[in-house]
Amino acid sequence: MSKKDILFSDRIKNIFLYILFDIIVIDFSILAGVGLWYDGSIPGGIKTIISDQTWQWYIYVSIIAPIIKVAVYFLMKFYNKLWKYTTSEELIKVLIAETIIFIGVFCVDNYFLSGFKLMVLPKRLLFVSWSIDLILFIFSRFGYRIIKRFFISFEYFISKKTGKKRVMIVGAGYAGYGVVRSILNNESGYQDRTPIIIVDDDINKHNTNINGIRIVKGIDEIPELTELYEIEEIIVAIPSANNIELKRILENCNKTNCTLKMIPPMSDVSDGVKRHLRDVKITDLLFRDEVNIDVKNIAGYLNGRNVLVTGGGGSIGSELCRQIAKFSPAKLIIFDIYENNAYELMHELKNKYEDSLDISIRIGSIRDIERLEAVFEEFSPKVVFHAAAHKHVSLMQQCPGEAVKNNVFGTLNVAKCADKYNADRFVLLSTDKAVNPTNVMGATKRVTELIIQHMAQISKTKFMAVRFGNVLGSNGSVIPLFQKQIEAGGPVTVTHPEVVRYFMTIPEASKLVLQAGGIGKSGKIFVLDMGEPVKINDLAKNLIKLSGYVPGRDINIKYIGLKPGEKLYEELIMADEKEEMKVTYHNKIFVTKPIDIDPNIFENQLERLYKAALHSPDDVYDILKEIVPNYNNVENNDSFYQVKKIVGEESML
C-alpha cells in the first residue's frame, strides 16, 4: 500500500470515529436532557420503561437525531477539518450547526412523532439537550487544547525559575506551528525554550492560538510586545517571506534586545522538508534578492576549457573557483602567493568533485613575470580571472610603492601573458574605490581598469573589468574585524557614525563576475548593481545584536575617525560614465563606455610610475594624479564629503 493510500485510509478511520462519537454524544445529550427534565427520575418507573411514551419517543429520536446531526456536520465540512489548527472563530459555525440540528429535531417531533401520539418535546428540554450537546462537541474538539493551554499557562509562570528562554514566534503559518510543536516536544535544537506568544499580521488569526499559544497583533508591534511579555528570544518562522517582508520583520526585531533565530528561506533548504532553526546571519540583513544567472551563457565559455584564477586562494578568488568548478572546466588552475589557502581550497574541491574536476595549484607572485610565463606556457589558459591584489586602503596609503608594484604592474604582467599565450578572455576584478579615488589603493585599481582598456585596443584577447563594492566576509572587510572585537568584549571601532558602503555577498559577487565574463565585450567595464548602501554604524549594531549582546550596554561602539584616504560614501560610476552607462541583458550588470587612451602617452606614464615605485615612492602620488585626473589624495575627508550628501542619496544604479 502506498503512502497516499495509507494517509487516505487513516483519514477515513478518523472520520468514522468522529461520526461514531458524535452519534453517542447527541443520543446522550437528549437522554441527559430527558433525565434532567424529570429531575433524574424515570417516568412511570422501571416497569414501564418500554411502554412509556417518553421512552418510545426517545427510541425514535435516538435514530433520527444522529442522522440530522451527521448530515449537518457533513454539509458544514466539520469532518474535513484539522481541529488542532481550528481557531476560536469556528465556535460561531459550531453554534449555528447545533442550532440547525435541534431545530430539525424539534420539527421532526412536532410534525412527525406527534402523529404516533408520542410525547411532544418541551421547548425547555430542547434547550437543555442543545446545551449539553454543544458543550460536549466543543470539549471533544477543543478540550485537548484547553487543557494544554492551562498547563502552558502554568509553565509561563515558572519559566523564569526553570531557566527557559521566553520566546516570541513571528509567523502563524505552518512553519510557526512547527516551531511551537518542536519547542513543546523538546525536540533537538529547540530545548530550553518556552513559547509565550505568536505574532502575525493576519487579523483573522488574532486572539486565536496554536497549541495553546496565543496569536497577537502584528509585526510592527514586536518592540512593544517583547517588553510587555518579557521576551528573550525571537524566532522568525516565515520561510516564504520576500525581501521586503523580511526587511520589515528584522528591522522591528532589531529594535529589541532579544536574540534572533530564524527558519531559513525555502531557497536555502536542500531537502525541502525539514528546516532547522539557525541564527540570523549578517547576510540576511542585506535583504538582497537571490541572483539568477544565465547558466548556458557561462557554461559556453568555461566548459571544457583551462581556467586560471589569480589570487585563487583569497576570499573572492576561492569562491570564484567554487563557482567555476560547477561548469566542468577542462582544468582549473589556482595561482596564489599564499600556499595555505590554496592548499585548503584544493582539498575542498577534490573532496567534493573527486576525479570529475582537474585542479592544479601553482604558487607564485603576479609581480614575477617569469613565473607567470611559466604557468601560462604550461597550461595555456583560455580564460583568466584576475583577483590578486592588495586591498587594504590604510596599508596601501602608507606603502604606495608596493600598491603600484602589485596592483598596477602585477595586473600588467598577467594581462601581457594572457595576450602572449592567446587567452580567449581576461576578466579583471575591480572596486568601487577606483571611482573618483581618494586613496592610493583606489587610484591603482583605476589604473588597472585603464590597462584593460589599453590592452583591448592592441590584443585579440577580450579584456574586460568588473567593478563592484564591498563583499561581506571577505579578507580585509569590516565584518571579520567586528567579529574579533566582539569576541574580545569590545569596543567595536567604527570610523564615522555616518559612513556608508555598498555590500553584497561573496557568492553573489562571484556569480555576477562569471556572468559579466560571459558577455564578452572587450574593453568594457561592467558595473554590478550593489543595491542600496548600508551604514557601517548600523552594520556594527546589528552584528553585536546577532552575537547576543546589546550595543552600548554589553559592547560599546567607538568612533575613531576616517583614516587617510577614506570616504564617507563610495560611488560605483564616475560622472562621465553615467550618461553613457547601459544595462546589459542581465538586469544587475551595467556597462560603461570606454575612454579613449593614447597608447604612447599611457605607456610612458606607466614607465615613469614603475620607476617611482622602485626608487622614489613619494613621487607615486603625482604620477597617479597625472594618469587618473580625478584622483584626490585627501588626508581627512570629513570636510570633503559632507554627511548631508548621504541623506536621501539614491543608488547610483
367-410 pLDDT tens trace: 999 999 999 999 999 999 999 999 888 889 889 999 999 999 99
Report yes or no: 541 and 551 within 8 Å, Cβ to Cβ. yes
Same domain, 355 and 223: no
Q: What are phi and psi of 471, to 5 degrees?
A: -120, 135
- The verdict on residue 311 lying in a domain is yes
The C-alpha atoms of residue 176 and residue 224 are separated, in whole angstroms, by 20
CA distance 414 to 385: 10
Verify that 312 and 193 share a domain, yes or no.
no
Residue type (1 letter), 647: V
CA distance linking residue 72 with residue 77, whole number of Å: 8
Looking up residue 174, the CATH number of its domain turns out to be: 3.40.50.720
Task: Look at residue 515 and tell me whether its pLDDT is greater than 60.
Answer: yes
Could you give the percent of the chain with pLDDT greater than 90? 26
Task: Say if 536 falls within a structural domain.
Answer: no
Tell me what pLDDT residue 651 has. Answer: 32
pLDDT beyond 70 at 119:
no
Residue 143 has pLDDT above 90, yes or no: no
Residue 122 has a pLDDT of 60
pLDDT at 476 over 90: no
Mean pLDDT value across residues 482-487: 86
Strand positions, DSSP E, 529-578: 534-535, 557-559
Residues whose CB falls within 8 Å of the CB of residue 59, separated by 6 or more in sequence, listed in order: none
pLDDT for residue 467: 87
Question: Is the pLDDT at 117 greater than 60, yes or no?
Answer: no
Looking at the structure, do residues 353 and 273 belong to the same domain, yes or no?
no
Tell which wins on pLDDT, 275 or 252.
252
Q: Which residues have C-beta within 8 Å of that of residue 353, sequence separation ≥ 6?
A: 325
Phi, psi of 217 (to 5 degrees): 35, -140
Could you tell me the end-to-end alpha-carbon distance of the chain, in angstroms, rounded to an integer?
58
CA dihedral 484, 486, 492, 494 (to 10 degrees): 60
Q: How large is the angle between the packed helices 599-615 and 620-627, nearest 10 degrees? A: 160
Helices (H), 421-505: 440-458, 478-487
577 and 452 both lie in a single domain: yes
Q: How far apart are CA 26 and CA 31, in angstroms?
A: 8
| 3's grid cell | 503512502
Is residue 479 scored above 80 in pLDDT?
no
pLDDT bin (cut points 50, 70, 90) of residue 649 is very low
Phi, psi of 151 (to 5 degrees): -70, -35
Give the three-class secondary structure for 169. Answer: strand
- Please say whether the beta carbons of 318 and 312 come within 8 A: yes
Domain C-terminal end among 228, 253, 280:
280
Tell me, yes or no, whether 274 and 331 share the same domain.
Answer: no
The reply to whether 122 and 188 lie within a common domain is no
- Please check whether residue 112 lies inside any domain of the structure: yes
Structural domain ending residue among the three candidates 77, 110, 145: 145
Is 90 inside a domain boundary?
yes
307 in the same domain as 274: no
357 and 397, same domain (yes or no): yes
Q: What's the average model confidence in pLDDT over 507-522?
A: 85
pLDDT > 80? residue 352: yes
Task: Answer yes or no: is 415 within a domain.
Answer: yes
Q: Is residue 491 part of a domain?
A: no
- Peptide bond connecting 491 to the previous residue in cis, omega within 30 degrees of 0: yes
Amino acid occupying residue 118: L
The helix or strand, by DSSP H or E, that contains position 472, with its residue range, turns out to be strand 470-472
Helix (H/G/I), strand (E/B), else coil: 644:
helix
Task: State whether 299 and 191 are in the same domain.
Answer: no
Distance CA 609, CA 602 (A): 10
Q: Count CB atoms within 10 A of the CB of residue 577.
A: 20
Share of the chain above pLDDT 70, in %: 75
**Cβ(65)–Cβ(29) under 8 Å?**
no
SS percent in the chain: helix, strand, coil, step 5? 55, 15, 35
Query: 98-107, 529-538, 555-564, 640-649: which has the highest mean pLDDT?
Result: 555-564
Residue 133 has pLDDT above 70, yes or no: yes
Predicted confidence at residue 23, as pLDDT, reads 81
Name the grid cell of 172: 502563524
More confident residue, 558 or 94: 558
Model confidence over 573-588: pLDDT tens digits?
655 566 566 667 676 7
Backbone angles phi, psi at 631, to 5 degrees: -75, 125
Report whether pLDDT(595) > 90.
no
φ/ψ of residue 331, rounded to 5? -155, 140
Domain-embedded: residue 597: yes
Task: Burial-class residue 169 by CB neighbours within 10 Å (0-12, 13-18, 19+).
Answer: buried
Domain that holds residue 171: 163-280
Asked whether the predicted pLDDT for residue 171 surpasses 80, the reply is: yes
Q: Are residues 134 and 67 in the same domain?
A: yes
> Do 470 and 502 contact (CB within 8 A), yes or no?
yes
Number of Cβ within 10 Å of residue 332's Cβ equals 30
Q: Is the dihedral of CA 82, 83, 84, 87 positive or negative?
A: positive
Strands (E) across 200-312 are located at 209-210, 213-216, 233-236, 259-262, 278-279, 306-310
> Helix and strand tally (H, E) in the chain?
21, 22
567 class by beta-carbon count within 10 Å (0-12 exposed, 13-18 middle, 19+ buried): buried
Report the relative pairing of strands 306-310 and 383-386 from DSSP bridges: parallel
Spatial separation of the C-alpha atoms in residues 253 and 237, rounded to whole Å: 13
121 vs 97: CA distance, rounded Å: 20
pLDDT over 50 (residue 7): no
**Stretch 525-552: mean pLDDT, rounded?**
80
- 420-439, pLDDT tens digit by residue? 999 999 999 998 888 888 89
Residue 468, H or E segment: strand 462-468
Q: What is the pTM of this model?
A: 0.64
Question: Across residues 509-522, what is the average pLDDT?
Answer: 86
Q: How many residues does the chain have?
A: 653
Domain contains 543? no
How far, in Å, CA of 321 to CA of 507, rounded? 11
**Dist CA 65 CA 387 (whole Å):** 81
The tally of domains found in the chain comes to 3
Q: Please check whether residues 388 and 357 belong to one and the same domain.
A: yes
418 in the same domain as 314? yes
Domain boundary among 114, 145, 176: 145
pLDDT digits (tens, 9 = 90+) for 437-454: 889 999 999 999 999 999
